[in-house]
A and B are shown apart, each in its own frame.
Chain A
Amino acid sequence: MIVFKNVTKRYDNGTIAVDDLSLEAPKGRITIFVGPSGCGKTTSLRMINRLIAPTSGSILLDGQPTEAMNLAQLRRKIGYVIQHAGLFPHLNVVQNIATTARLKGIAKKQALLIASELLERVGLDLSFGNRYPWQLSGGQQQRVGVARALASDPEFMLMDEPFSAVDPVVRHQLQEEFLRLQRDIGKTIIMVTHDIDEALKLGDQVAVLRTGGVLAQVASPKELLSNPADSFVADFVGRDRGYRYLSFVDAASSLAVMIEPVVALGTEAAAARIVAKDQWILVVNAAAQPLGWVDLDRQSGPLRESDLNLSGTLASQDHSLRQVLDAALSAPSGRGVIVDAGRVLAGSVRLSDVVAAIQSAKAAGWGGRP
């Protein structure tokens, strides 16, 4: 557990970066510091490993005040990941990862072994091991940065905008993998971001800070959306907070999934019309995985790949109402495609049924995931 006790950072010119911050980051959970620029989130993070010294107050790691610890020892207990990874350009990937283990006193051979294992853990092939940082993409560098932070098996991790320097597709991928990794390793993590979506997606607990370094609210993402403490928090979590809240409501319990007729590529349009519910027919591959919709009103002859309308998103059965709603909204047929964990078709849901499910969930006080 990381505890801030009345921590203040005042610079010599009188600027207050962090103002009397008190909060707890629970063990094994992800706590996110989020807020506009100048809210002191990064300063707060850097005070934990004393890259910045607090003016007053104290920070405790598992009950021990950090100011009493040896500086190098303190930092070796804490994994640290920054925006541009900050890899050592003169070391190859495996050597980079091994550095934190070496600093902890682990023998070289053992450290390199740990590093190779971590490489796979963060989703990189072993063949990346002897590449140098300049040979990696931004996303790959960031993975190596995470692996390096983990190599000393620290109890705590500090992450300063770790995913913000990569493109949105890679960012999404890194976030998903990071959540999966954290389920395995259960580190006590504090992450800084300016992106409220990222905060709500990754955080077990989100601390919203306002300009001047004042804590506006600390709560679970769900609580933050449904019960913002003041208008600043309400504005910051966004105008679409009603829609976003659906991310936290399970779809499985309340939704009626219908059977959706399907055809394979190459089927004649006339044959497809016989099975179709309306002008739209869903096309699947041999493994029953959805490929796309075809508009039979504009179709003659066999269905080809180029005829597919790919606009619809897929929702998994155990997903949130937000994803199911999006699947229904984006499907040209108005029927959202539901798949199982292996992307195999499970059925479809009508937009009207999704809306009904949302209404009944709301009436029941939401329920679903905490």
Chain B
Amino acid sequence: MNFDWLAGEVDDIGNFFAWHVALSVIPVLVALVLAVPIGWLVKQSGFLRPALLGTVGLLYTIPSLALFVLLPLVLGTQILDPLNVVVALTVYTLALLVRTVCDGLEAVSSDVLQAANAMGYRRIARFFRVELPLAVPVIGAGLRVAVVSNVSIVSIAALIGTPQLGSLFTEGLELHFLTPIFTGIILCVALAVLLDSLVLIITRQLTGWQPRT
């Protein structure tokens, strides 16, 4: 490790880190907001459900680099626009979360739903006050996978020039210099652990009603 180089680059690295955080977190938030209604619709879709979940799952198999390059054509954005990365990662996160939300809603016991119906909950109230809170443990678990995988996928966006920790990898490669590469890896792992813990803590806060072992 060349610490003199690190000291000189600390501003740039801080900047990369901030971008990396934004590029991994914003798509998760957007995808979560979209996945809740979509997951509910898929759950309601009856015999179409396996087909819909299969299709959504397929989105995850599109290579990320291809998506980064193709999105400007679809969205009419500049090739270097960070929006491309945000949209691409939103698509991936959505692919993970729609299934998760759907599974979470299906895990709610039929006794509970029957009781809620019989008590006179209307559909929307039942969803927000009963079904969604009870799906939080499953959704939280899915979110943890999503944030961690996003942190790693974001770095690929360095290849299309979006600044973030992945830029340290391309830089190190070009300069034949290991310090930026190590720095990038360490910061990526640290960020993944940090975000994962954050989701875990929030989930725990929302599920104080669950037995803890």
Contacts and interface: CB of A to CB of B under 8 A. Distances in A.
Interface of A: 49, 51, 71-76, 78, 80, 82-92, 99-100, 103, 132, 134-135, 145, 148, 158
A76 B115 contact: no
Contacts of A49: 118
**Interface residues of chain B: helix, strand, loop or mixed (majority):** helix
B205 interface: no
Given A90-B133, A90-B209, A132-B209, A80 B111 contact: no
B185 interface: no
B134 A72 contact: no
B120 A51 contact: no
B120 A103 contact: yes
A99 B120 CA distance: 10
Most chain B beta-carbon neighbours within 10 Å: one of A49, A89, A91, A132:
A89
B112 interface: yes
Given A82-B114, A84-B111, A76 B119 contact: yes
B55 interface: no
B140 to A, nearest CB: 13
B114 A89 contact: no
12 contacts: A76-B119, A80-B115, A80-B119, A82-B118, A83-B111, A84-B111, A86-B109, A88-B116, A89-B109, A89-B112, A90-B130, A134-B210
Chain B interface residue number, banded: 10 to 19
A268 B17 CA distance: 91
A51 B110 CA distance: 13
A334 B121 CA distance: 58
Contact of A75 (B111, B112, B117, B211): B117
A72 B125 CA distance: 11
Interface string B95-122: 0000000000000010110111111111
A135 B208 CA distance: 13
Contacts of B115: 80, 82, 85-88, 145
Contact of B118 (A51, A73, A88, A91): A51
Contacts of A134: 210-211
B117 A89 contact: no
Contacts of B117: 51, 75
A49 B207 CA distance: 32
A87 B118 CA distance: 12
Contact of A80 (B112, B118, B122, B211): B118
Contacts of B120: 71-76, 103
A261 B4 CA distance: 103
Nearest to B119: A100
Contact of B112 (A74, A78, A86, A132): A86
Contacts of B118: 49, 51, 75, 78, 80, 82, 158
